Amino acid sequence: MNRAAATLLLPLLAATALAGPGKFNKVLAPGDPAPEWKDLAGTDGKTHALADFKDKDVVVVVFTCNTCPVAENYEDRLIAFAKEFAGEKGKVGFVAINPNTSKDENLEAMTKRAKKKGFPFAYLTDPTQEVTKKYGAMYTPEFFVLNKNRTVVYTGAMDDKAPPGEAKVKHLEAAVKAVLAGEKVPTTETSAAAGCKIKLQAKADDEDK
């Protein structure tokens, strides 16, 4: 390879090295093992871990929050979905994780929100944002579907329409039904709903640089 060709190739190699594994998610892609997490405080006064769902064939993880208008508008859909698929004796586990750290998003505010809405699922806080970063979540709400082996089989939006519009394609529901039926997930990744971007906090060592 001559010097001119090498010079042209270097930027392409650099771009490839920086690109993430997913089309939309730059940390996780369908087929990746789901990152473990534990000791996240919930609005029920307990701490929770991914291992709590060991008896479930499917686990749905959604990163959401109290104050994003789109996330708020999706709450009724989350509640309806959890009631249909994630009952205590069902095969689907459902958990919501709040990645935000402002006063309106702390555990006390979350507890009030969960009680007001009657959330039928665990609503957890991620104060260090470590879980959020491991999953590569960037917006609220953003969904992840994990199969029995806790492999990621779907990442992205719940459906193709932000509330109050009616959804035509229900990506999350289709993914969960496919896994339960032992079938191939029809769509494995989409962009997240047009919600609010998660404000990731810089690490202390980054701030010192």
CA distances from 165 to 54, 158, 159, 161 (A): 35, 13, 11, 6
pLDDT digits (tens, 9 = 90+) for 1-28: 444 433 333 333 333 333 346 789 999 9
Q: For residue 69, is the peptide bond before it cis, meaning its omega torsion is within 30 degrees of 0?
A: no
pLDDT for the residue numbered 4: 40
More confident residue, 22 or 47: 47
The pTM assigned to this predicted structure is 0.86
What is the CATH superfamily name and number for domain 21-207? Glutaredoxin (3.40.30.10)
pLDDT score of 205? 46
Residue-level pLDDT at 208: 44
More confident residue, 176 or 89: 176
The single-letter code of the amino acid at 124 is L
Confidence of residue 165 (pLDDT cuts 50, 70, 90): confident
Neighbours of 69 (CB within 10 A): 12
Give the Cβ contact number of residue 93 at 10 Å. 22
The pair of structure tokens assigned to 6 is 């090498």
Interval 54-102: pLDDT, tens: 999 999 999 999 999 999 999 999 999 999 999 888 999 999 999 999 9
Give the pLDDT confidence score for residue 203 in this predicted structure.
Answer: 64
| In contact, 60 and 92? CB cutoff 8 Å | yes
Q: Which carries the bigger pLDDT value, residue 89 or residue 152?
A: 152
Residue 164 has pLDDT above 80, yes or no: no
DSSP element (H, E) containing 197: strand 196-197
C-beta of residue 87 within 8 angstroms of C-beta of residue 51:
no
Return the pLDDT at 170.
95
Q: Where are the domains of the chain?
A: 21-207
pLDDT confidence of residue 31: 96
